[in-house]
Chain A
Amino acid sequence: MAEVILKNLSKRWGDFVGVDNQSLDIHDKEFLVLLGPSGCGKTTTMRMIAGLEEPTSGEIWIGERQVNDDLPKDRDVAMVFQNYGLYPHMTIFDNIAYPLKVRGTPKAEIRPRVERAAAQVELTQFLDRKPKALSGGQRQRVALARAIVRTPKVFLMDEPLSNLDAKLRVTMRAELKHLSRELKVTTVYVTHDQIEAMTLADRVAVMKHGIIQQLGTPDEIYNDPANLFVAGFIGSPAMNLVRGRIEGGQFLTEDGVKLSPIASEDRSEVVLGVRADDINVHEAGEGDIDAPIYAFENTGEASFLTVEWGDQRVIARGDRHLRKDQDDVVGLSLNPDHLYLFDPNTEKRIRL
């Protein structure tokens, strides 16, 4: 039973602000993902929770206790490091057993628990090897096993899948999801991979420049972005963001291309957000507007059309059987239920 509460937490190095006065309530048993681009302060936040970095100001609570002055060993957390942090001079068994040994677990209990953790990450046949004799993915799983061998108050995982190849990443992601549902321990998970964030999280905190931009469920983050940054960061491909204005219930791009009716009062400066999925592709003349294709890409499971509206390019997603060529003209229509408006100056969402 442990919630993690950050109160006005800051980390500065000289003038540089790593984490800027952030507050965050992580519920008991919640899987919270910290998502953001490189250098936004994710690792720093997590290291402060673990006690490896001292906050410049602010409070950290784990459960009922303020832990600011506690050593890492007294915080009862388990951490998976980005580069594994394995003990190269110990066998895999001893690596996984270390947290138990150092915390004085009775000898008889250690072996079964290590074996169970190893089985959970399918490492059983490697227990006698040294880390050097394992592949990257196997080492990654050792790091995970070392974390789950104990039931700590909080799991901290720093990009635990970042060093795996694409395929292994997908299987390990499923494995993690399964484990987290089974173990039900409060987890803070750092990543800059939005698919990981969307699939694993109960809630996602999107960070940029040391500030949490939005905190919400994956659905909320995807379907209800709070600002331009979140809209442009989440989704693959990212949401199309088109600069323009609104006149008489119509959205016009900067260079006057009439795009779509929209239920909003007139505005002279606005950014329209629309996902590739919400742009329907038709034959020329059958949509709301015609546009030339700048590039046509076929990924096998879908086709992506980059089209030009005036000076601005947007990506539309077409059927996987669609075949078009560069410079062909297609008709497009926007799904009116899934349009977003943003203020380009404040970058905030304009709610319709």
Chain B
Amino acid sequence: MTGKQRKQVWNAVQLTLIMIATFIMLVPIVWIFLAAFKTHVDVYQLKLFFTPTLENFSTVFDDPYRLGEKLFNSTIVALVTVIFAIPIATCAAYSFSRFRLRGETTMLVMILATQFVPAVVIILPFFVMFRDVGLLDTRLGLILVNLAIVMPFAIWMIKGFIDGIPMDTEEAAMVDGSSRLQVIWNIVLPMAAPGLLTAAIFCFIIAWNEFLFALILTNKNAVTLPIGLALFKGEEGDLWNLLSAAGIIIMAPMFVLALLIRKYFVQGMTMGAVR
């Protein structure tokens, strides 16, 4: 075999492996996508050709499911979480990156360590605390919980981006006449913007998909979309067609965001790693 042939074979092998992996990952999504447009009768048959209907999408927004409320809750919770998380995390990340703080490494490791605590372990204390201060089943409560979940992640990610900004650039701005705040506003933020955007979208995705805390801490008013899915388990069995329609509604923003951040994803992941 010549080198060229060997390369072609290798490419074919790679392509096949990628196709298999993609297939395995996509099958459930395709199934859901099809089911969302099927009638209750069709859904149990693996038919690829059927008369599609949009009825499921209107049903899920009607009584008794009222998915609109959940959609609203999810949107508010995820958006407000991001709106607070990113500025706070940016301040923290800037300090960690640029100032030599006492116990800096310890703090950074501790922040990361919170990520390793299984949610089920701390969910009970959260429940008790929230019950005592009246935050159970409120959007505010969920926002607080989600902030706690996304902050460590956001701090580490944004720190990676700020680390990648050369110190020289900031020092040049200071000598040119900027105060520290002007340096951050005029230099650091614009340069870290792709990183901030990536972090924001990641945080949004995490908050949007958060399930366990929402399951335990809400029951009626603040229920989010992932929890809302449980509604479609009726007496007549699982309503797969409705479940699938709701699933599409949950996934749609994720697809859009994934497309948006594709460009920055690798950059964001590697920038922190290189240093």
Q: What residues of chain A have their CB less than 8 Å away from a CB belonging to chain B?
A: 50-52, 71-73, 75, 77-79, 81-89, 98-99, 102-103, 146, 156
Contact = CB atoms under 8 A, between A and B. Distances in A.
Contact of B178 (A78, A79, A89, A102): A102
Interface string B171-213: 1111111110010001100110000000000000000000000
A79 B175 contact: yes
B236 interface: no
Given A85-B166, A88-B191, A73 B171 contact: no
Contacts of A71: 174, 179
Contacts, number: 62
Given A50-B171, A86-B169, 17 more contacts: A52-B175, A71-B179, A72-B171, A73-B177, A73-B179, A75-B175, A77-B175, A85-B166, A85-B168, A85-B169, A87-B169, A87-B187, A88-B191, A99-B176, A102-B182, A146-B176, A156-B175
Residue picked from A79, A84, A85, A156, most chain B C-beta under 10 Å? A85
A73 B169 contact: no
Nearest to A143: B172
25 contacts: A51-B175, A52-B171, A52-B174, A72-B174, A73-B176, A73-B178, A73-B179, A77-B175, A79-B175, A81-B172, A82-B168, A83-B168, A85-B168, A85-B169, A85-B171, A85-B172, A87-B172, A87-B187, A88-B191, A98-B173, A98-B186, A102-B173, A102-B182, A146-B176, A156-B175
B191 A102 contact: no
Residue picked from A71, A102, A103, A146, most chain B C-beta under 10 Å? A102
Contacts of B179: 71, 73
Contacts of A99: 176-177
A98 B173 CA distance: 8
Interface string B89-120: 00000000000000000000000000000000
Contacts of A72: 171, 174-175
A75 B191 CA distance: 26
